[in-house]
Structure 1
Amino acid sequence: MAEWTVVRCSGGAFYETKWVPLASFKAIRLGAKRFQRCPVHHKWEMASQVPEEMQTPEVREQAAQHRDSGVI
């Protein structure tokens, strides 16, 4: 089952999304990145996972405030 993952869009915002390797119905996969709608900027942007070691409490807090639709 997919878990919520912290990602960063190309505009610099952090948010949570469901991220399953090799599967997505809401995004266009481009290697390790995805082109999907950012719930912060409300537009389509590139998004990539934020490595665990870079997830500070502030980053996690910001991401938790902005979740996408939850569709994989």
Structure 2
Amino acid sequence: MRHELELAPTFRELFDQTHKQKGSDDYVSESARMITETYDRTMVDLYVEGTSQPDLDLEAWVDAAGGPRKG
């Protein structure tokens, strides 16, 4: 993938590459679709429009994926 883009892919690009059906914009599972939608909503809530966002907010991703919670 790095060769195709001439730069290192983002985490999201890698996730989409491995979790979408080839030649389609459809995710291979409902779980993968829900994780990305939840993560996107979380990022909108956390970062004000116009401010820079990290390539990956690991805590937001773990929460979206249903991983362990702090505390």
Q: TM-score, normalised by structure 2?
A: 0.27
Looking at secondary structure, tell me which structure has more strand per residue: 1
Q: TM-score, normalised by structure 1?
A: 0.27
- Which structure has the higher relative contact order (CA within 8 Å, separation 6+)? 1
Quick check: which has more Rg, 1 or 2?
2
